Amino acid sequence: MRTTRKCLGLILASGLLLLALFYAWSPGTSSGVDIWQRQGRPVKKLNAKMQDIISGNPDIAYHIKEDVACRLAQNPCVCQGDEETFHLPFSNLLFPRMWAHKLDVPFLESQPDPEATKRHRAQEYSSFRRRSYSPADAFIVAEANSPLQYPIQGVEVRPLKTIIIPGLGLKEETRSDHMVYLTAALGTFDVAATVANVSLKGEGEKHMILSSPLLPALNRQLQFVTYTNTVFHPKTADTVQFGTEGHQSFFTIKVGHATIPKLYYSGYQTEYNISALVTIATKTFLRYDKLKDLIDSIRQYYPTVTIVIADDNKHPQPVTGPHIEHYIMPFSKGWFAGRNLAVSQVTTKYVLWVDDDFIFSANTKLEKMVDILEKTTLDLVGGAVREVTGYTATYRHTISVEEGGEEGDCLHIRSGYHHVIEGFPNCVVADAVINFFMARKDKVLQVGFDPRLARQGHMEFFIQGLGSLHIGSCSDIIVNHASKIKLPWTKSDSQKAYEKFRYSSSKTNNIHNELFYFKNRFKCMVSI
Ligand SMILES: *[C@@H]1O[C@H](CO)[C@@H](O)[C@H](O)[C@H]1NC(C)=O
Ligand SMILES: *[C@@H]1O[C@H](CO)[C@@H](O)[C@H](O)[C@H]1NC(C)=O
């Protein structure tokens, strides 16, 4: 019963939230150019009719289906780990345990004024929301049986330019006078042609009224209605109100520049030319012997592919040879800084990331990675790393974020993947993969590597890329790992995550905590 009530509360709360979101938006009227977002403005008076549409029939009883209702997002989320029930050697491997880690307490404890830090985070978050909100995200309901015809989506205008609004119409019974009106916030209306027997009011303004005693004439006139964007913003949307007596509707016109494509010319080829398409990037520190083995192994299979090396050794040694670019960095700049530098210097369409102690073999078929990137919508594809012991890892994970209210959101990391890729039976889609991957260079640069993560950091890149990278993982593209040192992913994942995220006063850990708690606004994480 308690669950039922909780779910019911949740459903009602979500409904109210949607209402609030819908009505929070209200057009501005100032004369200056307003680049503030409309979200968060004082809520305008609720339109009683719309409210009725959303929450109608309050008298009719209903039964909550618990198994379904409880799948709806819970607000706020919590991170719950598994209890440790028994202790056996390898029990963690056989029955992986879910670990829950608080991120707020460890980070805030390290702060001189925790409350001030929390307020700072809240401020930064609200300004992020203002920057990222688009009126095109607003919730809009189309009324039943409206005589109005209008475009639901797909209308777009370049900043400060003019378009004809397609699809406008009025379908109603003939009467002595027919009238429609249009209202916008970021632009004005006009007509590209006039039609006899139609009268217009407000041409060139934000509010235009069209009326006629003849319905066909009015509908003809509606085909010539134009919208001119007058408030510059490189990427936003205008919500247009289109109404007649007793009915109103809303639709959005997207305002924005066109996306400028970034295409790579790699010469006309009948088969993939890896040298023209791919650059291999790596970062080296204290392991020139390993790096030399890596380069030699690459040259055996790919003699002309460019290799970019970022090097932050104290006493850098020359690394020379054809198609090698060696970038010396300040001493100990770190792991992610090196990745950033190396990737930024890539001029090919794809970049292959390798560690400096990997060794190419006949199974390291870069053509397979190129093939899947060329044929699918994937941005990044990981391979497999074979240890000296013969153990092969793909390190596939899924990541999700649940809403957590004011305290921050909850991050979930799980071993596994989403689905197999059709036509590529050895490949799956996941949210995070191993440290051996090929990716579209532009997409990797877009996500970037936080240069403060100096010694450790892998999952962080994929967390930053969540929602912008489409990621695959193929188990049949294999690179060998030369070192006998245990790689982090050969430990059980939960063990590793635990070691990484548990409370520690070390500087590295505090950067991780800051990254998750402050930059990404998480309050806790669960991993398995
Ligand atoms: C429509 O316009 C034409 C030409 O201006 C006029 O002759 C006619 O009377 C008008 N019809 C109505 C119904 O107003
Ligand atoms: C492959 O691309 C490289 C670099 O662009 C070029 O030098 C080479 O001639 C190409 N190879 C073939 C077979 O086209």
Tell me if 380 is assigned to some domain: yes
pLDDT higher than 80, residue 46: no
Query: Is 216 in the same domain as 178?
Result: yes
By CB atoms closer than 10 A (0-12, 13-18, 19+), residue 259 is exposed
pLDDT in tens, 433-474: 999 999 999 999 999 998 888 767 788 999 999 999 999 999
Closest CA to 525 of 424, 402, 429, 436: 402
Query: Is 402 in the same domain as 471?
Result: yes
DSSP 342-366: HHHT--SSEEEE--TTEE--TT--H
- Element at 46 (helix H, strand E): none
Measured by CA distance, the residue closest to atom 14 of ligand 1 is: 197
Tell me if 100 is assigned to some domain: no
Per-residue H/E/C for 304-322: CCEEEEEECCCCCCCCCCC
pLDDT higher than 80, residue 16: no
How many of the other CB atoms lie within 10 Å of CB of 196? 9
Average pLDDT over residues 103-115: 89
Work out the percent of the chain whose per-residue pLDDT is above 70: 81
273 pocket-lining for ligand 2 (C-beta < 6 Å): yes
Query: 505 pLDDT band (50/70/90 cuts)?
Result: very low
pLDDT for 33 equals 56
pLDDT for 311 equals 93
Query: Is 238 in the same domain as 293?
Result: no
pLDDT in tens, 67-99: 888 888 767 888 888 776 555 555 555 566 788
Measured by CA distance, the residue closest to atom 4 of ligand 1 is: 196
Query: Is 242 in the same domain as 306?
Result: no
Q: Two tokens at 327?
A: 């970038």
Query: Is 209 in the same domain as 322?
Result: no
Query: Is 278 in the same domain as 245?
Result: no
Q: Which residue has the tokens 């490189």?
A: 234
pLDDT for 487 equals 55
pLDDT higher than 90, residue 520: yes
pLDDT for 63 equals 87
pLDDT in tens, 357-399: 999 999 999 999 999 999 999 999 999 999 998 899 999 999 9
Tell me if 5 is assigned to some domain: no
Q: What is the Cα–Cα distance from 130 to 23, expressed in whole angstroms?
A: 16
Q: Which residue has better confidence, 23 or 430?
A: 430
pLDDT for 501 equals 43
Query: Is 151 in the same domain as 220?
Result: yes
What is the extent of the structural domain holding 510? 274-527
Average pLDDT over residues 112-133: 91
Measured by CA distance, the residue closest to atom 1 of ligand 1 is: 197
Q: How many residues appear in the chain? A: 528
> What is the chain's Cα-based Rg?
29
Last residue of a domain, one of 221, 256, 291: 256
pLDDT for 31 equals 47
What residue ranges line ligand 1, CB within 6 angstroms?
196-197, 213-214
Query: Is 245 in the same domain as 302?
Result: no
CATH code of the domain covering residue 435 = 3.90.550.10
pLDDT higher than 60, residue 14: no
For residue 12, the SS3 value is helix
Closest CA to 437 of 447, 425, 423, 451: 447
Tell me if 401 is assigned to some domain: yes
Q: Residue 387 C-alpha to ligand 2 middle, in angstroms?
A: 33
Pairing of strands 207-212, 178-183: antiparallel
pLDDT for 492 equals 47
The answer to pTM > 0.85 is no
Work out the percent of the chain whose per-residue pLDDT is above 90: 60
Rounded to the nearest 5°, which phi and psi values hold at 432? Answer: -150, 145
Tell me if 111 is assigned to some domain: no
CATH code of the domain covering residue 217 = 2.60.40
Rounded to the nearest 5°, which phi and psi values hold at 72? Answer: -70, 150
pLDDT for 136 equals 83
The most confident of 223-232, 266-275, 330-339, by mean pLDDT: 223-232
Query: Is 245 in the same domain as 338?
Result: no
pLDDT higher than 90, residue 421: yes
pLDDT in tens, 245-285: 999 999 999 999 999 998 998 887 788 999 999 999 999 98
Q: What mean pLDDT value characterizes the chain?
A: 84
Query: Is 162 in the same domain as 288?
Result: no
DSSP 45-87: PP-HHHHHHHS--TTS-----HHHHTTSPPSS----PPP----
Tell me if 101 is assigned to some domain: no
Tell me if 137 is assigned to some domain: no
Closest CA to 346 of 331, 325, 332: 325
275 pocket-lining for ligand 2 (C-beta < 6 Å): yes
pLDDT for 40 equals 34
CA 153 to chain centre: 22
pLDDT in tens, 132-167: 888 888 888 887 889 999 999 999 999 999 999 999
Measured by CA distance, the residue closest to atom 6 of ligand 1 is: 197
Last residue of a domain, one of 256, 291, 320: 256
Q: Two tokens at 380?
A: 């990044």
Measured by CA distance, the residue closest to atom 5 of ligand 1 is: 196
How many of the other CB atoms lie within 10 Å of CB of 109? 12
For the CA atoms of 305, 311, 313, 318, what is the dihedral angle to 10 degrees?
50
Q: What is the Cα–Cα distance from 324 to 338, expressed in whole angstroms?
A: 16
DSSP 231-259: S--SEEEEEEEEEETTEEEEEEEEEEPPP
pLDDT higher than 70, residue 409: yes
Query: Is 248 in the same domain as 284?
Result: no
| Count of domains observed in the chain | 2
Q: Residue 324 C-alpha to ligand 2 middle, in angstroms?
A: 16
pLDDT in tens, 26-44: 333 334 554 444 443 333 4
Q: Which residue has better confidence, 5 or 527?
A: 527
For residue 149, the SS3 value is strand
Q: Residue 272 C-alpha to ligand 2 middle, in angstroms?
A: 10
Last residue of a domain, one of 207, 230, 256: 256
Query: Is 235 in the same domain as 300?
Result: no
Question: Which CA distances in Å does 486 have to 5, 39, 153, 382, 408?
Answer: 50, 50, 53, 20, 34
Q: Which residue has the tokens 């409210």?
A: 51
In 38-176, the DSSP E strands lie at 99-102, 148-149, 156-157, 162-164, 169-170
pLDDT for 4 equals 44
Amino acid at 78: V
Tell me if 281 is assigned to some domain: yes
276 pocket-lining for ligand 2 (C-beta < 6 Å): yes
